[in-house]
Chains A and B, each alone.
Chain A
């Protein structure tokens, strides 16, 4: 079934920052999900900017319970719908802190049990709602309020946790990564995830102008640069195997990093070339692992 791109189930007038990547993710995933959807939100930016009582941006049934339990709540909804013979789809939308950190127990349980739910993580790479603290999704060397760059620190000490692989290892039949900078691709992946029986996962890269430090008019451009530098890879995994990868003619990582205040310490007062090289190495490993470089022979990409 074709996605009705004119369908708007995420009402305007919510309180997200201008240029919020997560808000776009919310609007786009609902276009793909459609009206026969029950949405479960974790505590976080999207929950807060969309539902200050008594206002709501959600035109589909929506529930928020706690920070870390969205997938358990979704399990209960799916279970109830099954017993009642109802056909609505259950979709979780949660941030990276809720997904990669505090909610892992509940997500692992829900995926292991095989509930027919779709879990979408909008990944803005830190705890933005509480004021930009690092999460397990924060990239290497990003400066956040709990991983600040300083005289003896170059920012976040660890690379991003690979949540898609963790959930693929749970036997999820469909795991995908996407970016709000590629809306059609994201919506197709959401639709595919929802229509695949069982627990499915989509992690969508959602640049945060406030937390990353760039102008709100550049959200899509920053999202594209993440893809074009190989620091974010869009791919699909079906039954644990990578089946589709977004290929690019890669740009050096500096082009992405230098646009964001969270990496400013790598360039000012002087370029920290050793650290930039380490980040370039992360992109190179991604490129090799997923075969994203267009210059590579096509056989390797299969």
Chain B
């Protein structure tokens, strides 16, 4: 392992290279493009023995991955926003067919209006597709989650496709020091893909058959069970990663300064870095504030989250997405909906803040203001709404 300073996208591409996908199939879209450009260069230089399919759309990018994984190869793709939306149908299909893959999402807002900037609406909107969804706080985590992602996804107890989500531009275009595994380390951790079934003339199987009402429900049950089993597999694989490389990912939620915290912030992704800095400052000022960071949105670690929030007097959720129309007269994000569900029956108030959509910057001061609002009981609202332009 060596510490290198590199752009997030390049670091991800280098990690993907070390995961040795045999088929890479991707389409350019901002802010994901640097990843697949870098991979194209890696393949062109013979540094990765993969077939790189330059598809004509994101829809075909993931469809080609369906074929590649069904034929028994490890595959990789990356996308964001509109591209992910175009993959919508394939996403559900791939999970239902139990075909494992890792796809990087450089999170970006969805249009209209067109926006190339960050929020998490794109992957959140694929919440029910059956994919595992991991959210990285920084580029080191984004990189490591690719190795972990393949290992969890391909585990025969799971066999589900996986999104490794990292915030577009904020992480994808930012230079950070990253500990990159050597190829030998990566190979020792992540062995070659062993499919449970594959398309093979020596042993014919039919894949993707249709199910009558007598069988459909059971397929959905099995997929949901696989999601639930992924919780334990993720702990196990995250622990192994920690034992090998010193960075433990066995926790699905990370508690930061939650000891005696009265206000607990819940968030996912790069906003957690800013939040931690804000918490440090607030703690220095005597405020009892902590963070519970979700590393994993699917499967949703309800029990872990409930335990982590047990001592808090109030919960402030930062939602970089919005579930339009939810929440009655107040706005609601997808994370808050999950948090409320996890805390059902508890008297702890959960206050939601729809924040940072479409690339609106979130600074330390903003986090402090959110905490102040939550202390005043003022939540379930947009944060930073510019009423003067409405």
Contact = CB atoms under 8 A, between A and B. Distances in A.
Interface of A: 35-38, 40, 47-48, 51-54, 56, 58-66, 68-69, 72-84, 86, 88, 105-106, 108-110, 112-113
A106 B203 CA distance: 28
Contact of A35 (B64, B65, B201, B209): B201
B63 interface: yes
B44 to A, nearest CB: 16
A106 B69 CA distance: 18
Contact of A75 (B60, B205, B209): B60
Contacts of B23: 76, 79-80, 83
Contacts of B210: 47-48, 51-53, 64
Interface stretch (B33-41, B89-97, B156-164): B89-97
A62 B198 CA distance: 10
A83 B49 contact: yes
B22 A83 contact: yes
B199 A76 contact: no
19 contacts: A53-B211, A53-B212, A62-B204, A62-B205, A63-B67, A63-B208, A64-B210, A65-B93, A65-B208, A66-B89, A66-B93, A69-B59, A79-B23, A80-B23, A83-B22, A84-B71, A84-B72, A105-B59, A105-B60
Interface stretch (B50-58, B280-288, B364-372): B50-58
Contact of A106 (B22, B60, B65, B215): B60
A81 B67 CA distance: 10
A113 B54 contact: yes
A52 B212 CA distance: 7
B50 A53 contact: no
A60 B69 CA distance: 18
Nearest to A73: B67
Contacts of A61: 199-201, 203-207
A62 B207 contact: yes
A37 B201 contact: yes
A80 B72 contact: yes
B76 to A, nearest CB: 12
Interface in B1-52: 22-23, 25, 49-51
A51 B208 CA distance: 9
Contacts of B209: 51-54, 56, 64
4 nearest CB pairs, A to B: A76-B67, A109-B56, A76-B64, A72-B63
Interface string B125-166: 000000000000000000000000000000000000000000
B75 interface: yes
Contacts of A112: 56
A77 B71 contact: yes
Contacts of A108: 56
Contacts of B22: 80, 83-84
B66 interface: yes
Given A72-B60, A77-B70, A80-B23, 13 more contacts: A61-B199, A61-B201, A66-B93, A73-B64, A73-B67, A76-B64, A76-B66, A79-B67, A80-B72, A81-B71, A83-B49, A108-B56, A109-B56
Contacts of B203: 61
Contacts of A68: 59
Contact of B64 (A52, A58, A64, A79): A79
A229 to B, nearest CB: 37
Contacts of A47: 210
Contact of B90 (A52, A60, A66): A66
A296 B70 CA distance: 51
A66 B88 CA distance: 12
Contacts of B200: 61, 88
Nearest to A51: B209
Interface string B277-299: 00000000000000000000000
Q: Which of B25, B60, B201 has the most CB of A within 10 A?
A: B60
